Amino acid sequence: MKDKLFSKVVLLLFIFSLSAGAQNIEAVKSLMIIDCPSAATLERGSFLGILHMYNDGGMLGYLDVGITNRMMFGISYGGTNIIGSGNVDWNPQVAVNIRYRVIDEALSFPAIAIGYDGQGYGKYLDSLSRYEQKSKGLYAAASKSFNFLGTLAFHGGVNYSFERKDNDKDLNAFVGLEKSINPELSLFAEYDFAINDNTGKSIGQGKGYLNAALKFTFQKKLQIDFLWKNILKNNVLDPGSSREIRISYIEYF
């Protein structure tokens, strides 16, 4: 069953990469769908600061820098119970992410990027040496935008996480989309199949992670995201969905 599902994902991504017939308006600019990466990168000489606030008093801080127009590098760190009382439960280490866009987006072909991201989401589970939602680890992502009443973009990719102490070491896949409502407001959705989080000591229930977001962008520098995550309630340790906020600010050297 799992192999058939993965085969369908690969086929979907293949068809998606060959899609044509719609007018390309501009390269996709969103670095992340929600938790899953796109094929976009920061411009050379720009830096991005992000503050992500999530359940259990959790906060994550990110700093990403555009090294070239194709390559970006960043670090992130945070923990839970930062907001509230009691001791803070810090993540065990600073996470590193790096991304390189191999192929630029063209009229009939998506942008393709490869990268590594060591930052997972939710609590860090010491007993399993993993986050509630595993970090992506090594990944390849594709993104394609179209002109349809504004911007319509599709994303997809595969990843291999190094958080494997739960004995689920499968290759994983994810898909996503974004649709602009106006120049300041956009809707996003993603589905992480969580194929690497449904056997052994995993905390997933085989439903995958479905997330949605409403994103406001001001003057192309400040962005506020209102996130609704784990809509399918896939996490056995925390069976509810969560409402989160992420604030991003981009500036140039």
CB-based burial, 19-35: b 16+ in 10 Å, e otherwise: eeeeebeebbbbbbbbb
CA distance 111 to 38: 9
Residue-wise pLDDT tens digits, 77-126: 999 999 988 899 999 999 999 999 999 999 889 999 999 999 999 999 99
Its pTM surpasses 0.95: no
CB atoms within 10 A of CB 187: 13
Residue-wise pLDDT tens digits, 10-68: 455 544 444 433 333 344 468 999 999 999 999 999 999 999 999 999 999 999 999 99
CA distance 139 to 32: 13
By CB atoms closer than 10 A (0-12, 13-18, 19+), residue 218 is exposed
Please state the length of the chain: 253
Pair type for strands 71-80 and 111-117 = unpaired
Domains of the chain: 2-252 (2.40.160.40)
SS3 130: strand
CA distance 188 to 178: 4
Residue-wise pLDDT tens digits, 117-152: 999 999 999 989 999 999 999 999 999 999 888 899
Strand blocks (E) in the chain: 46-54, 58-66, 71-80, 89-90, 95-103, 111-117, 121-125, 130-133, 137-147, 151-160, 172-182, 185-192, 209-218, 222-229, 242-252
The rounded mean pLDDT for the chain is 89
